[in-house]
Structure 1
Amino acid sequence: MAFWLAKTEPDECSIDDFARAPQTPVRWDGVRNFQARNYLGQMGVGDLVFIYHSSCREIGIAGIARVSTAAYPDPSQFDPDSPYHDGRSTPDNPRWLAVDMVHHQRFERVLSLTRIKSLPGLEGLPLIQRGSRLSVMPVTAEHWEILLQATGA
């Protein structure tokens, strides 16, 4: 099993969206960065993903989702009405990937970015690296445990 962090704006998709229907898969789509796309392609069924709320009042890790499908071509790339449409993508040669995830755990309170940055042992965590803006990133098992402990879960 691998560990990941996925950033989202909670008004688009939040941990609460996952928690409302815990067994209903939520498609993680719209990723339009090649490195983040490659990470989506590496996700495996059962992998755990920190759901990180960004561009909101409480920025930080809000809970955990579990990957429920292997990566597949992101349908939004083919939809001309989607903000994630990519005219260069074709069904025979898709450029972008999506995965489905289901609810795993909602934290009582968000683990804030400020708190994350203060935790010892997180050197090398992509989230706190200067200039790291990826929406999907790997998390080492060691970093996962430090962050999970900090949530109180």
Structure 2
Amino acid sequence: MLAPKTSHFPAYKQSLLNEFHEHLSKIKNLNTNTNKSNLNTRNKSTMEAETETTQKRHYWLLKTEPGEWSWEDQSTNGGKSKWDGVKNKQAQKHLKSMKLGDLCFFYHSGSKCRRVVGVVEVVKEWYEDDDGGIAVDVAEVGEMRRWVDLAEMKADERVNVGGFELFRQPRLSVVSVGKEVWERVCELGGGYVGDGRGEDGEEGGD
């Protein structure tokens, strides 16, 4: 009777085990690389979508007498309001041009206070209200960290160079704001609450 070749069996078994672990390692690496690729693709898609939204976004300024509807009224109303009562045809045209996600400066007008005090976002595009007028719905984003007076904006060279419609047509209650002017006014005010910056207006960290 021949003795079993036990001396060769463990080596063969070890070889199969090594091949199995090697194959398993390749599968893990493949899954890891696939997950990373999918994550990078999702991140890229998200960034592209955010960039596209930012590029399409337009900026506006909404005037209101603080005695009729102030920033405090906006805040205490759950941050939302229907922006109506606009009679001027050019101002109505601006309302009709607003899209979801557009941002608007909330501007206190009047003889005693003319200043940008906060930022609201368009949450419902234009519609006809019960009185047959034009309206949009806006929601509070955040108060300016420092209110920006009209005189300060007029004295700023970068705001003037940007061609602010507020200066050209001061009687309009709804005016368009160029991106450069928007960014400069935000800079003058130290940004606004909800803009992704810290309390001091600096970019927030991870």
Question: TM-score, normalised to structure 1's length?
Answer: 0.81
Report what 1:140 is aligned to. Answer: 178
Report what 2:76 is aligned to. Answer: 20
Report what 2:9 is aligned to. Answer: none
Q: How does 1:14-53 map to 2 (within 5 A)?
A: 14-22=70-78, 24-53=79-108
Cα shift at 1:108 = 3.7
More helix by share: 2
Deviations 1:26-82 (Å, cap 9, x if unpaired)? Answer: 00000000000000000011110001101153221011011110100133xx2xxxx
- Count of residues in Structure 1 that have an aligned counterpart in Structure 2: 133
Deviations 1:73-105 (Å, cap 9, x if unpaired)? Answer: 133xx2xxxxxxxxxxxxxxx4x3100101011
More strand by share: 1
Q: Residues of 2 paired with 1:71 and 1:49: CA distance? A: 14
Report what 1:61 is aligned to. Answer: 116
1:71 alignment partner, SS class: strand
Greater relative contact order: 1 or 2 (C-alpha under 8 angstroms, separation 6 or more)?
1
Cα shift at 1:109 = 3.5
Cα shift at 1:11 = 1.4
1:100 corresponds to which of 134, 137, 150: 137
Cα shift at 1:20 = 2.0
Q: Residues of 2 paired with 1:33 and 1:74: CA distance? A: 16
Q: How does 1:77-96 map to 2 (within 5 A)?
A: 78=131, 94=132, 96=133
Q: Residues of 1 paired with 2:72 and 2:167: CA distance? A: 24
Cα shift at 1:25 = 2.3
1:125 corresponds to which of 157, 161, 164: 164
AA aligned to 2:127 is: Y
5+ residue gaps, structure 2: 1-56, 192-206
Cα shift at 1:15 = 1.6
